[in-house]
Copies of this chain bind each other. A is one copy, B any other.
Amino acid sequence: MSGEMGMFISYLKKKDLKLTDQRKIILDVFLKTERHLSVEDLYNIAKKKDSSIGQATVFRTLKLLREADIAKEVDLGDGKTRYEHKYGHEHHDHLVCLECGRSIEAVDSKIERLQDGLCRKHGFLPQRHKMEIFGICKKCR
């Protein structure tokens, strides 16, 4: 059992929620993908494992995975919410290619430090941030 499955089981127990086959399948599908997939993407993959799974359950389960700190919402500017792995992954920002749509994960500790400084200068208490740089990736140049 992966660390994430254990986390999910604990989270469900804590909240008096139930571990269902659908939830297991959706977490499994989510963990096996490395890209930033939309709910619809994940739904289409999950359907192959259990054709009776409904879209609503996928939406609901991804919300649970977010609450359990297993998944993180990513908004790359197209209309739909995407999800990425959170557990065991450091904070990072995104370089989003306008040509091919892929996104590179990157982080610069100096930027992170300066962001805190910028907040302090404005008397602002930072909790989280989002930095996305849009442009053209190496492969598409």
Contacts and interface: CB of A to CB of B under 8 A. Distances in A.
B123 A137 contact: yes
Nearest to A133: B129
A32 interface: no
Contact of A119 (B123, B127, B135): B135
Contact of A132 (B114, B122, B130, B136): B130
A36 to B, nearest CB: 16
Given A108-B114, A129-B134, A130-B132, A95 B122 contact: yes
Contacts of A5: none
Interface of A: 75, 77, 95, 97-98, 104, 106, 108, 110-111, 114-115, 117-119, 121-138, 141
